[in-house]
Chains A and B, each alone.
Chain A
Amino acid sequence: MAVVTQTPAETPVLKKARHESTLLRVSRYVVVRLLTLFVTVVVGIYLTIMIANMGGFVDQIMKGEIRERVTQSIAANPSMKQMDPTVRQKLIQDTIASEEKRMGLDVPIAIRNFRYLSNALTLRLGRAINMTSDAGSKQVRLIILERLPATLLLMGISQLFLFFSSILLALNLSRSYGNFWDRAVVALSPTSAVPPWFYGIFLILIFAALLKVLPFGGMVDSPPPSNSFDYAMSFLKHLILPASALVLSSFFLSIYNYRTFFLIYSSEDYVEMAKAKGLPTRDVERRYILRPTLPNIITNFALLIITLWTGATITETVFLWPGLGRTLYQAVGLYDIPIIVGSTIIYAYMLALTVFILDFIYAVVDPRVKIGSR
């Protein structure tokens, strides 16, 4: 209102000032938010390293790595081949000792933890101790990248299906509140107390063991089919059970939650008003029910994206699915700390990034939200 009453000459100056202040507000917000998120990630990863390191496992990794590198480099050096074995052994020991000193393995553990932390934060994930990727690499980055597609496919297909189907079904149910299907969903919602791996066991029992129509586990037949169509078919066949276990375990609760949510919003006065105006149901749903619930739906979607990255450890283990979750479990079993820390870092970064981006999406979706305003 104030702007309107200004004289024309003053308006541009004022507009510019306001524009700057928005920029300032947003950029100040971005800086503060990024800093707090970064500190959160740093502390989170530091705690993970502490837990993984307290038994001295990370030290062993480093020492083992040094030993291997030194021994190999000396063994591979042709000029040292002629050396007397005891002298060469002495040389190896000395080099290892100086290397350990150089890497700081002789300083107290608390200080060293910070060194691991900085390696982790700069995504220098290092080399795995025992695990190798199927291609034979020991690089943690390559191992994680190799397992990622399997997890993304399984989790992506099941979670996206779950997300969209439950929203669509919930919209339908909220329209016909109190009918048979609605009450059935309400009655069935406690089934989501049972985790996916548990449904997995039952599904394996029924479809693999008893009916023998679907495989017990794994991702493709062994040996993998050579042509890509057969490969895809075999993959789909293996995907059905784990994906349905993941969907089944959250299906009814997810529908129930969205339905309750939509019902609350559809009892608002403006929805009644829109209906009274005679707007078609589709428009009422799209503009007056879905729109105000969008921030929540987006939050759920964002959280879903995060779960895609972690995989479902126990479900993947039950189905022998070669994804990230199972890799993480195997890594713990093999005391392979670099992989554990590596996947934690990715998870922490992803979570922080998602939280950060969400703030902006809220502002775009919901005109009432202003970034950085108090």
Chain B
Amino acid sequence: MNTLKNSFRNILFYPAALVGMLVVFLLVFTAAYAMIKIPYNEAIRLWRGGEEVWYQNPKFAPPAWINYFSSKKYAESFAVRTTDGTMIKEVTLGAEGTSTISTSYTFNFSYDYYPQEMILYLTSKYQEKQPFISAEWLTPDGRTIRIVNLALNQKQTYRFSQDEKLRTKLRTDDVIPQLFSDPETGRLLKGQYQLLITGTTFEPDSDINAEFVFHGQVFGLAGTDHARRDLVVPLLWGAPVALAFGLIASLGTALLTMIISALGAWYGGWMDELIQRITEINLVLPFLSILIMIGTFYSRSIWVILGATIALSIFTGAIKGYRSIFVQLKESMYIEAAPAYGASNPRIVFTYLIPRMIPLLIPGLVLSVPSFVFLEAGLAVLGLGDPVLPTWGKMIDDANRNGALYRGYYYWILEPTTLLMITGLGFAMLGFALDRIFNPKLRDV
């Protein structure tokens, strides 16, 4: 045990190992943060959520911080509503139960690109007579554009760019750019814009509420995808999923391989023979094809795939390597002495044989983590990712399916791939260093 401790102390002399450890710690930290910040069920609700969850976000928006690196600024998204006071609602009571409700929102538009879309979500409460609203657009150069007059239903959505009448009025097909441009020059106009909504209700307890959603060109820390989802969710949740898959798979494979080969080497006979034959058969089985088949025919759940991965990875070349070492170890004095003083077979296997192999096990275990992490991502890229869980691989798959590379949504591909790359390299660097520490034969050369 002391030598093991000393070996770990040696890590400090390997810069690559330190970098690797740092990466692993950061990953564990991110994973813990993700699971606390967004609980499992919430993460799934958000990831599976459609328009009703994500309507406030623009589509295909890069992260907002690209503005720091770009001389031309992209419009940031926002959403304001009367219900939570981000839009101030003024109610003036009129005669015979009527009232005038007005609300406005003023914002500074100082970007160099037009926003994607502007939407009004209107809700109203009435018995028989529908309330009525009119919306106006006030530009920095003092023009007032009448946007729309509407008789409200209980729930109504008004999309600026889809309004045929507004198109005709502005004499354009693209409403949004026209609203943000100087009509003389056709150039983008920066400054204070105001949206003014005036409503009239005709019943005593009738009410109107409005939500103004402004879809810019950029969004949040990580941007959004084709379904308007905030990519922070899969980026954060990818960490625990990747870690869990990689660690459980490598740990499970390594431990089971070790135990099985130790049992085979110790008991010998038909058991050893059986293990050898199973290993040879397993080498013939096409690993990836079987995983693809399981994913397609049976279940795409990450736990099923994990189980299949471990089952298929136990009986590989590693079991032969371990076996040859165990067979050597079996001949050593202390093992030969053990049965003489009455140590039971399981005791010899589990407390005498296996612990001696831990130095060999650890580097291999760490080194195999990236391959499992990338396997999970690879299956997701083939469209066989877990259907509910948000993962990095799913993100790459979504991006590929939506032609992110062709259409220039590089952030969408780069974010998950960078994280995967860092994870893979971190474990690999740590593993290589551990390999040199625990197997000093390699250290000399």
Contact = CB atoms under 8 A, between A and B. Distances in A.
Interface of A: 36, 40-41, 43-45, 47-48, 51-52, 54-55, 57, 177, 187, 189-195, 197-198, 201-202, 204-205, 208-210, 216, 260, 263-264, 267, 310, 313-314, 317-318, 328-329, 332-333, 335, 340, 343-344, 347-348, 351-352
Nearest to A48: B285
A70 to B, nearest CB: 27
B414 interface: yes
Which of B289, B294, B374 has the most C-beta atoms of chain A within 10 angstroms of its own C-beta? B289
Given A40-B277, A201-B413, A216 B405 contact: yes
Nearest to B378: A314
Given A44-B281, A332-B293, 12 more contacts: A40-B280, A48-B290, A191-B425, A193-B427, A194-B421, A205-B414, A209-B406, A260-B442, A267-B445, A314-B381, A318-B381, A328-B292
Given A47-B285, A190-B429, A193-B371, A340 B293 contact: yes
B292 A193 contact: no
Which of B280, B383, B414 has the most C-beta atoms of chain A within 10 angstroms of its own C-beta? B280
Contacts of A57: 297
16 contacts: A44-B284, A47-B285, A51-B290, A55-B298, A190-B429, A193-B370, A197-B381, A198-B421, A198-B424, A201-B405, A205-B405, A205-B413, A216-B406, A267-B445, A313-B292, A332-B296
Contacts of B408: 209
B358 interface: no
B213 interface: no
Contacts of A328: 289, 292
The binding surface of chain A is classed by DSSP as helix
Interface string B423-440: 011011101100000000
Contacts of A344: 285-286, 289
Nearest to A46: B281
Which of A51, A193, A201 has the most C-beta atoms of chain B within 10 angstroms of its own C-beta? A193
Which of B282, B292, B293, B428 has the most C-beta atoms of chain A within 10 angstroms of its own C-beta? B293
Contacts of B292: 313, 328-329, 332
A190 B382 contact: no
A328 B290 CA distance: 11
A318 B401 CA distance: 11
B374 A198 contact: yes
Contacts of B294: 51
Interface string B391-422: 00000100010000110101001100100110
A329 B382 contact: yes
Contacts of B388: none
